[in-house]
Amino acid sequence: MTDPMPSSPDKLRVAVAQLATVMLDRRAGMERVLSAIADGKSQGADLICFPEAYLPGYPFWLSDGHGARFDDDRNKRLFAHYADQAVTIEDGHLDPICDALREADMAAWLGIVERPRDRSGHSLYCSYVHIDAEGRVRSVHRKLQPTYEERLVWSPGDGHGLVTHRIGAFTTGGLNCWENWMPLTRAALYAQGEDLHVAGWPGNRRNTEDLTPVLAKEGRSFVVSVCGVMRRDDVRDDMPEADFVREAVGDMSADGGSCVCAPDGSFLLEPWVGKDGTGKDGTGVKTVEIDAARVREERQNFDPSGHYSRPDVTRLHVDRTRQSLARFDDGTD
């Protein structure tokens, strides 16, 4: 089902929410999400995009916090708190956000750490959620391969969320962080007509300034890279092991770097960081207008899943079944 059309059939206003982390506090993080939705609405946005794992936060402490120590009491306590603050969609944790989007007539890509009931209710997944302008959760993409130390807290996902959604004249898809480096995963979205790609990142311009133009040129699509900001003073006093986490995350774990590229690889929004090299003035909501005519122009000479594909020679098989441990046959029709 296509979301309500924007005012101009070919144009869409996309809001980029570059927000500071509220470390491991789902409720406080949600308040920032709701505030960003209100900001996006005031700027006339049709779609708003949030960073990877924004609710309840990226596990920044792992790299320099001895996260690989096995059976370590401190790591156990941090993981237990992380799981407690994670998002269980089945329990209605996203309902306030869905309600706000419906009232704003705005769709969203939202990064969460998901604690799903269908995988025991205790393991965690880095998930990118698409919510439409009617406030419905349309898809939940669980990150296929957590990167490096992320594997200490996140489980590998599956292909169930490798889907696209129509918003006005555009077909949008989203991936988490280094999934955007995976050629076959990108191809799975191109094959479904994606022309507005959203890449969620925990933060850092080094991740976005080179790759975003490449993805735009490869897909002949608009590409939104949306990042968070993480500073030492974003660690709350009341969270477990707060002093240890502050020391582990350092002064500036994530400096933002959100940006938007047109289908020719040019920047519509240059990588966004604080003017002094910190994130102190590098947070907020910025909106850009994109025009589907620009996609059609660039697809004239290259269309990765259309006239410039050869499915008779190379073809991709994608398994989109949701993984589960058991399949039960209760003998009912």
Helix (H, G, I), strand (E, B) or coil at 261: strand
Please give the Cα distance from 88 to 141 (Å, whole number). 14
Q: Is the pLDDT of residue 252 over 80?
A: no
In DSSP terms, 107 is beta-bridged to: 47
What's the confidence (pLDDT) of residue 1?
46
Mean pLDDT, residues 89-93? 97
Q: Quote the Cα angle for 103-108-112, to 5°.
A: 115
- CA–CA dist 9, 245 (Å, integer): 48
Q: What are phi and psi of 297, to 5 degrees?
A: -60, -50
Contacts of 133 (CB under 8 A, 6+ apart): 3, 4, 46, 101, 102, 104, 105, 106, 107, 167
* Res 65: pLDDT: 75
Q: Give the model's confidence band at 276: pLDDT under 50 very low, under 70 low, under 90 confident, else very high.
A: low
Which amino acid is residue 215, in one-letter code?
L
Mean pLDDT of the 171-194 span: 97
Q: Determine the Cα–Cα distance for residues 148 and 146; give it in Å rounded to an integer.
A: 7
Token output for 323: 């993984």
Q: What is the pLDDT of residue 72?
A: 87
Three-state DSSP class for 292? helix
Per-residue b or e along 290-329, where b marks 16 or more CB atoms closer than 10 Å to that residue's CB: bbbebbeebbeeebbbeeeeeeeeeeeeeeeeeeeeeeee
d(CA 129, CA 110): 5
**Token pair listed for 243:** 């002093």
Unique residue bearing structure tokens 């604080």: 274
Per-residue confidence at 140, pLDDT binned at 50, 70, 90? very high
pLDDT (tens digit per residue) in 286-306:
999 999 999 999 999 999 999
The three-class DSSP label of residue 47 is strand
Are 97 and 48 contacting, i.e. CB atoms less than 8 angstroms apart? no
The predicted structure's pLDDT at residue 327: 86
Cβ–Cβ contacts within 10 Å for residue 101, how many? 27
How do residues 186-233 score in pLDDT, each as one tens digit?
999 999 999 999 999 999 999 999 999 999 999 999 999 999 999 888
Do residues 273 and 266 touch, judged by C-beta distance below 8 A?
A: no
Is CATH 3.40.630.30 the right assignment for the domain spanning 13-299? no
* Closest listed residue to residue 46, CA positions, set 1, 106, 104: 106
Q: Specify the pLDDT at position 111.
A: 98
CB-CB neighbours of 31 under 10 Å: 12
Q: How confident is the model at residue 7 (pLDDT cuts 50, 70, 90)?
A: low
pLDDT above 90 coverage of the chain, percent: 78
CB 76, CB 147: distance < 8 Å = no
**Would you call 249 helix, strand, or coil by DSSP?**
helix
- Complete DSSP assignment for 174-190: EEEGGGGG-HHHHHHHH
pLDDT confidence band for 318 (50 / 70 / 90): very high
What does the mean pLDDT of the chain come to? 93
Instruction: Reduce the DSSP state of residue 300 to 3 states and report it.
Output: coil
**What's the confidence (pLDDT) of residue 95?**
98
The residue ranges of DSSP E strands in 137-292, in sequence order, are 137-142, 165-167, 170-176, 196-200, 222-226, 229-231, 252-255, 258-261, 267-272, 284-291
pLDDT of residue 136: 98
Q: What is the pLDDT of residue 197?
A: 98
Closest CA relative to residue 172, chosen from 207, 200, 135, 144: 200
Rounded to whole angstroms, the Cα distance separating 46 from 37 reads 10
Global pTM reads 0.93
pLDDT over 60 at 5, yes or no: no
Min mean pLDDT across 7-11, 38-42, 161-165 is at 7-11
